[in-house]
Structure 1
Amino acid sequence: MTNNKITAVVVDDEPLAIEGLKLRLDAIEDVTVIGEATDGDEAIKLCQRCQPDVLFIDLRLPGISGLEVVQLIQADIMPLVVFVSAYSEYALEAFELNAIDYILKPANIGRLQKTVDRIRERLTPQQRDLEKFRLLKALGETSGLEISELEEWLESSSARLPSQYRQELVIKNDKNEKVFVPVKNIRWIDAAGDYMCIHTTEENFIVRITMKKLESELDSNMFQRIHKSTLININCVKSIQTLKNNESLLDMGDDVKLKVSRNFNEAVGNIINSRAN
């Protein structure tokens, strides 16, 4: 690596910030910028397509954040990561994801040179193997998966991480029988204290569990909180009606309509985006 330029991708939601960072990196002869993006989704695609040595990424991006981008990039193509931010309070989270550096905006050339020197040291083959292990460890901690599971996933070349979410719930019914309920059959869940009423396509169940605990066990790509006491399966939404006061009404079919509270109004956009993809 000592005779090759370090390839970099720059990600920021402000085009002027991208240009400013590119100009400073161009002044450092060791680095060449091979791609740029203004949101997290495009950043992931760029890393998959270009496989740069290093990713310079802002924390606050439209859609998924810079931290989430790093968590979502497959570990076998993970570049070294440098977070570039106007805010210092996220530094601990960044270094927990094994970022090589955390630079406060605006970064001057002298500060960037120190970062590039650090990158150069880390791009030896031995350091690459160590970085891969550290990133797998960090990904395991954030996803709840074992490192061995993540290594098997890498070897299988699967596009998706193995899921840590529940695929079935084991629920005791009113006949004292344990029933296996596929998560995909749950239409919505509402809370009453520490009890949850789980509404499925076939019947309803009452379980003693907190909303927070149950929500953590369900796939957030499938289930969306629309109220402090209501969680819905986005695939069961038939239509969305806009109401006054920044509220909405979801038609769940079978004459069931659920209100999206003002505190969760971003849920409507999430549902539409998820269903549109």
Structure 2
Amino acid sequence: MIKDKKITAVIVDDEPLAIEGLRLRLENIQDIQLVGEGEDGDQAIRLCQQLQPDVLFIDLRLPGLSGLEVVQGLQSDSMPLVVFVSAYSEYAIEAFELDAIDYLMKPVNLGRLQKTIERIKERLSPQQRDREKAKLLKALGVSSGLSVTELESWLDNDSAPFPSKYRSELLIKNHDNEQVFVAVKDIQWIDAAGDYMCIHTEQENYVVRITMKRLQEELDSEIFQRIHKSTIVNLHCVKSIQSLKNNESMLDLGNEIKLKVSRNYSDAVKKLVENRLS
């Protein structure tokens, strides 16, 4: 367990007196912080998903889903350590088969509870780090579009650059029918020509058979912004912006290259400014 970090706990029991009794005992243990209480199985799942507690104290017999069914229904990313609390001993074997850390009999004895907390501390020492790492990787995966496996490989290699789901190069045939690698960062703008896309760099223009949608999926949307139904621009290449009527704009890329931003894509100008000023 991380030093000075309290163990967060949730209690779920359909008997208010049982919740109160366990709460009072937990309040006498310095390392525990009670963050939520519930009365049935559905609330147990909801509390675990929302609060991500370190440990769940849960009765076996609950309205709706039983305590066992709650643990079976929890997803791995919201699964806390589980302590079953019950007035019945016959479910203990099933509870430990679900990897419960302990099985407490009601009414819970403070001394017995303290032993459970010590066991929880031992389990959380490596597990807490793993859970926090998993949460961070999941959040980073959502924001970056990368898989957790890719992110884990990056973490395991100190010298590896941060991975990207977008291409850094495109393999395109030139006018001599040779396949050449074109650096994505060198692309200034792209426009559609029927079933083909014209890719413009400062040195050369290339024609490739690909759809606008497919090409957009392979380019970083923070850099390559659609400004017209048939035009994509590299925001880093824009020199200036001229406002036109009807909420349209004109982008100047230099070398007498000017691209119109249609009113349907007027938000692209706002994104351009935010991108360049951030």
Give the TM-score of the pair, scaled to structure 2.
0.52
Distance (whole Å) between structure 2 residues aligned to residue 30 and residue 239 of structure 1: 56
Distance (whole Å) between structure 1 residues aligned to residue 139 and residue 174 of structure 2: 39
Distance (whole Å) between structure 2 residues aligned to residue 189 and residue 162 of structure 1: 25
What corresponds to 1:23 in structure 2?
A: none
**Structure 1 SS opposite 2:162:** coil
CA 1:252–1:131: 2 relative to 1, 3 Å: same
Output one character per residue of 1:217-262: Cα deviation in whole Å (capped at 9) or x when no partner.
1122221111121110111101000111111110011111111111
Return the letter of the residue paired with 1:252.
L
1:165–1:219 Cα contact (<8 Å) kept: yes
Return the letter of the residue paired with 2:162.
L
Total equivalences in the alignment: 179
Query: Counterparts in 2 of 1:52-201, with a 5 A limit?
Result: 124-125=124-125, 126=127, 129-130=130-131, 132-133=133-134, 136=137, 140=141, 143=144, 145-156=146-157, 161-201=162-202
How many angstroms does 1:274 deviate by? 1.3
Output one character per residue of 1:101-159: Cα deviation in whole Å (capped at 9) or x when no partner.
xxxxxxxxxxxxxxxxxxxx9x9453652463466367557745454431232245689
What corresponds to 1:263 in structure 2?
A: 264
Output one character per residue of 1:60-99: Cα deviation in whole Å (capped at 9) or x when no partner.
xxxxxxxxxxxxxxxxxxx969xxxxxxxxxxxxx99x68
Query: Counterparts in 2 of 1:227-266, with a 5 A limit?
Result: 227-266=228-267
What corresponds to 2:13 in structure 1?
A: none
Query: Counterparts in 2 of 1:204-219, with a 5 A limit?
Result: 204-219=205-220
1:189–1:198 Cα contact (<8 Å) kept: yes
CA 1:267–1:152: 2 relative to 1, 3 Å: same
Distance (whole Å) between structure 1 residues aligned to residue 133 and residue 152 of structure 2: 10
**Structure 2 SS opposite 1:258:** strand
**Structure 1 SS opposite 2:250:** strand
Distance (whole Å) between structure 2 residues aligned to residue 203 and residue 80 of structure 1: 54
Return the letter of the residue paired with 2:229.
K
> Percentage identity across aligned positions?
59
RMSD: 4.1
1:226–1:265 Cα contact (<8 Å) kept: yes
